[in-house]
């Protein structure tokens, strides 16, 4: 049995006609996890929206005020890719709440997956970018630390580098960050020599390599982060745009690789919790297959 955390308000965010981060992503994930062959593996938990105090652990009040003011005006563009729609703030707060609740469920059950939409790993402390408004996985990490997990490992297999996550944790040795991503690619960060305080492990790779290379190299990055270091919880920025055929990436992975990674991460963590939060994935059938693979392996 795998705990899946969600909030129905995550469907309200709308970034405009033709935007790849569209409400149908959320519906595709729900439909896939409700299929008869998967439903028996899932225990659903509805999360409350995140409260302001939880967000201010990562994001400054002035930035949160700006999002609220923009939402009250009916929304607007924050950059070329990131548009706050009329009801988007409801989704943003719901998505952050899902990430926080997924940590709580993971601590109780050993694993959990949060359907976080919109995603979060590009969001900086005071800047939205790359479809992301709040950094869900860093909010989750700080919440885990507040609940007693002193050391947190974040791993990110989205095809795009989690620049926001790196920027928010790279000076804090209590959190380690591993990212395998297409490079050079949006957002242009994530070079191998970006090391933080020895807590950042980037695995930049070109598109089009054999899938076995990506599968191997990601776990090598995880093993480097785990050398002589024992985290209390592992958080996965689970982006499924790394699967072969996604329109926004050129990696060659298959859902079986997601199963392999998830099982390998659980094996490395032993009895310590593993919690996934959704990042990218823009071809609906691949997104659904990737999420199902991840949730099956978590269960």
Active site amino acids: 122
70-83 exposure pattern, b = at least 16 Cβ within 10 A, e = fewer: bbeeebeebeebbb
Paired residues of 112 in beta bridges: 3, 275
Cα separation, 188 vs 140, whole angstroms: 25
Cα separation, 75 vs 68, whole angstroms: 9
Residue with token string 């989690």: 162
Q: SS in 3 state form for the chain? A: CEEEEECHHHHCCCCCCCCCCCHHHHHHHHHHHCCHHHHCCEEEEECCCCCHHHHCCCCCHHHHHHHHHHHHCCCEECCCCCEECCCHHHHHHHHHHHHHHHHHHHHHHCEEEECCCCCCCCCECCECECCECCCHHHHHHHHHHHCCCCCEEEEECCCCCCHHHHHHHCCCCCEEEEEEEECCCCCCCCCCCCCCCCCEEEEEECCCCCHHHHHHHHHHHHHHHHCCCCCCEEEEEECHHHECCCCCCCCCECHHHHHHHHHHHHHHHCCCCEEEEECCCCCHHHHHHHHHHHHHHHC
295 and 132 in contact (C-beta within 8 Å)? Answer: no
């Amino acid at each position: 049995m795998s705990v899946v955390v969600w909030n129905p308000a995550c469907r309200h965010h709308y970034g405009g006609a033709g935007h790849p981060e569209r409400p149908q992503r959320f519906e595709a994930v729900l439909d896939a996890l409700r299929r008869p062959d998967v439903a028996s593996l899932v225990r659903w938990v509805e999360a409350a929206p995140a409260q302001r105090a939880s967000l201010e652990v990562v994001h400054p009040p002035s930035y949160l005020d700006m999002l609220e003011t923009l939402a009250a005006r009916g929304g607007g563009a924050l950059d070329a890719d990131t548009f706050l729609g009329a009801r988007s703030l409801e989704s943003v707060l719901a998505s952050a709440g899902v990430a926080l609740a997924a940590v709580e469920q993971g601590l109780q059950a050993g694993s959990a997956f949060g359907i976080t939409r919109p995603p979060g790993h590009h969001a900086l402390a005071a800047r939205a970018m790359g479809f992301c408004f709040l950094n869900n996985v860093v909010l989750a990490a700080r919440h885990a630390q507040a609940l007693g997990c002193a050391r947190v490992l974040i791993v990110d297999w989205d095809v795009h580098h989690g620049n926001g996550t790196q920027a928010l944790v790279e000076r804090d040795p209590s959190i380690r960050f591993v990212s395998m991503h297409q490079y050079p690619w949006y957002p242009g960060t994530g070079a191998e020599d970006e090391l933080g305080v020895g807590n950042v492990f980037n695995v930049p790779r070109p598109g089009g390599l054999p899938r076995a290379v990506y599968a191997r190299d990601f776990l090598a990055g995880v093993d480097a982060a785990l050398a002589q270091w024992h985290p209390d919880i592992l958080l996965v920025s689970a982006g499924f745009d790394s699967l072969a055929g996604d329109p926004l990436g050129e990696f060659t992975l298959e859902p079986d690789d997601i199963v392999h990674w998830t099982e390998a991460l659980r094996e490395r963590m032993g009895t310590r919790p593993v919690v996934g939060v959704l990042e990218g994935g823009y071809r609906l059938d691949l997104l659904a297959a990737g999420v199902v693979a991840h949730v099956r392996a978590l269960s």
